Chains A and B, each alone.
Chain A
């Protein structure tokens, strides 16, 4: 057979001028459509329609390529790819749904048991919560009961103690009155004030609603202290009382002076007594004779007991010597006695001195007239 070279040339020209290489998009579409998974996609429920559309777009893309319209081929290939991927996603949905159904089936198998246990747990939890609440309430009630009981006991004890303290306060007040009866505040101020402060302290604490053993102890000390103050104040009080009656005091003075010096040496005066100390000095001397100093000491003791009395010391001499000199001597003798009394503790402001010389001789005997007379007086 003989082939016409013109025909051969025409065939070769056609082949050379035919469509070129397929577009990337078309190649990709063809690749995914030929993938083994595509068969599964095709069969998946709901995926068949987009799958078919993908194939149609592939055909259109090929046709466009055949016609040399690459842009249109690309467009169809891109659309086909989108449809295939949609089909693939739908097939994936089906697979996922199957997986979900299987998991649901497994869960539903264990669910009834879980459900039953959950219900039981919830019921128990409710019961336990209620019981916890009841126990809590019961505990609170018990605590309240115990507290009430303790409070009651404590209150009783407190009341008893308070009563004891109140009774003791009354005792202390009685003791206080006893001390005040002898003016202990004046005559035994330290003890009296200490006792009084303790009593006041207890009263204050008691007013604040407190009651303690310490308060009872303080009261006991206070009572003791009031009693002690009373004892201490008693003689001083008696003295003070006596001092308040001048005539009685004068009588007491006379009596005390008589017992100390001898009644012949004590002369009653209207406002007191005159104490006579004969032979107190040697003739011409203004120094108290050694043997007579005890007289002065006795007088000092007496005067200290009758400290509200004024003292007038009168100095005398015998007739021996010059009357003028005797006057001075008598004054010196009065001063000497004053000094001795002052030295014995008698306040000098109570004492006045006078000298009478040899006037007013009391005794016929010169020696006895070397004397001092002390006038102790108290005005009404």
Chain B
């Protein structure tokens, strides 16, 4: 009889203590995700993932509300969506960055001959000017 009573008490204590610990963990995760979204917002120069960020922010807020209402399962689902959404956003922003770099390099490659021509003209003009200045300097001295 005593053993059964001890078991019941142990289970009661475990459940009472575990529930707040579980809630704290989720709250910490929400904060972490919010920071991540904010970082991605700063990195997304071309706003390629704006809609997904807004969606993730909405889910995050829903998770917070659900958590506050004690609906831990529903909050977990929202947080999982947010986790996947952050992965997606990172991939999209990285992709956009690489594409931007590629476009810049393509433009540079395209302008290569033009740049060569421009540099050659500058070099020729500078040579002429150098010769003129040398001649004037000789006269002045």
Binding site for B on A (CB under 8 A): 50, 75, 78-79, 82-83, 85-86, 89-90, 92-93, 96-97, 99-100, 102-104, 106-107, 109-111, 113-114, 117-118, 120-121, 124-125, 127-128, 131-132, 134-135, 138-139, 141-142
Let me know if B95 and A131 touch, CB within 8 A: no
Let me know if A131 and B130 touch, CB within 8 A: yes
Q: Which residue of A lies closest to B112 (CB)?
A: A110
A104 to B119, CA, bound (A): 20
Q: Which of B111-137 contact A (CB under 8 A)?
A: 112-113, 115-116, 119-120, 122-123, 126-127, 129-130, 133-134, 136-137
A86 to B49, CA, bound (A): 12
Identify A82's interface contact among B85, B98, B136, CB under 8 A: B85
Known: A117-B119, A124-B123. A93 touches B94 (CB 8 A): yes
A50 to B85, CA, bound (A): 12
**B105 within 8 Å of A by Cβ?**
yes
Let me know if B116 and A114 touch, CB within 8 A: yes
Known: A104-B105, A138-B140. A125 touches B126 (CB 8 A): yes
The residues of B that contact A120 with a CB separation of less than 8 Å are 123
A125 to B141, CA, bound (A): 22
Most chain A CB within 10 A, of B91, B108, B129, is at: B91
Given A103-B106, A114-B115, A138-B137, output 9 extra A-B contacts at Cβ < 8 Å: A82-B84, A83-B84, A85-B88, A86-B84, A96-B95, A100-B101, A114-B119, A118-B119, A135-B133
Identify A89's interface contact among B88, B119, B136, B140, CB under 8 A: B88
Shortest Cβ distance from B126 into chain A, in angstroms? Answer: 4
The residues of B that contact A139 with a CB separation of less than 8 Å are 140
Let me know if A117 and B98 touch, CB within 8 A: no
Identify B87's interface contact among A86, A99, A103, A107, CB under 8 A: A86
- The tally of CB-CB contacts under 8 A between chains A and B is 110
Q: Which residue of B lies closest to A124 (CB)?
A: B126
**B92 within 8 Å of A by Cβ?**
yes
Chief secondary structure at chain A's binding surface: helix
**B18 within 8 Å of A by Cβ?**
no
Let me know if A134 and B137 touch, CB within 8 A: yes
Q: Which residue of A lies closest to B107 (CB)?
A: A103
The residues of A that contact B81 with a CB separation of less than 8 Å are 78-79, 82
Identify B123's interface contact among A85, A100, A107, A121, CB under 8 A: A121
Let me know if B84 and A92 touch, CB within 8 A: no
**B58 within 8 Å of A by Cβ?**
no
Q: Which residue of A lies closest to B78 (CB)?
A: A75
A100 to B101, CA, bound (A): 7
Identify B98's interface contact among A97, A107, A118, A128, CB under 8 A: A97
Known: A92-B95, A128-B133. A106 touches B84 (CB 8 A): no
The residues of B that contact A106 with a CB separation of less than 8 Å are 105-106, 109, 112
Known: A121-B119, A138-B141. A99 touches B84 (CB 8 A): no
